[in-house]
Amino acid sequence: MTALEAATAALARRDRAGADLVEYLERKGYDADEARTAVERLRAAGYVDDARYAAARAEALAARGYGDAWIDAELRHQGVGGAEAEAALASLEPEADRLAAIVTRDGASPRTGRRLVGKGFAPEAVEEALGDAG
């Protein structure tokens, strides 16, 4: 199987950022140059699009209750560049609104606050949201 075939098969299972796909191919034993060439061919064909990946991944994480800090870290961990990560975060509902909705839904308790801080919301924003709900 060529690197291009392996990359295509990986994308058939789930969308990936370009850098993550290169790393995946290298872990599978493909030469780094061959992996980069395969990913660039897929990028040119529109199958690899970091901005699209970042927007979809950010939306999915926000829907699961994660804050901007967690989402940003996850996108960068997956190899998304700074500009794409920032654009993806900017496309989301404002973090304060997401935070307020979660506090309204789950209640303004210390347990909720700890969970939200653990999910990447700023401690000061969580404290303010808990105070506003109470």
**How far is Cα 8 from Cα 30, in angstroms, rounded to an integer?**
14
> Taken in order 68, 70, 71, 72, is the CA torsion positive or negative?
positive
Number of structural domains found in the chain: 3
pLDDT band, residue 49 (cuts 50/70/90): very high
Render pLDDT for 72-117 as a digit per residue (tens, 0 to 9). 999 999 999 989 999 999 999 999 999 999 999 998 899 999 999 9
The proportion of the chain whose per-residue pLDDT surpasses 90, expressed as a percent, equals 90
- Domain check: are 88 and 54 in the same one? yes
Render pLDDT for 37-48 as a digit per residue (tens, 0 to 9). 999 999 999 999
What residue numbers bound the domain in which 28 lies?
A: 1-48
Residue 36: give its domain's CATH number. Answer: 1.10.10.10
- Domain check: are 56 and 42 in the same one? no
- Domain check: are 5 and 44 in the same one? yes
- Domain check: are 6 and 39 in the same one? yes
**How high is the pLDDT of residue 132?**
72
SS (H, E, C) the chain: CCHHHHHHHHHHHCCCCHHHHHHHHHHCCCCHHHHHHHHHHHHHCCCCCHHHHHHHHHHHHHHCCCCHHHHHHHHHHCCCCHHHHHHHHHCCCCHHHHHHHHHHHHCCCHHHHHHHHHCCCCHHHHHHHHHHHC
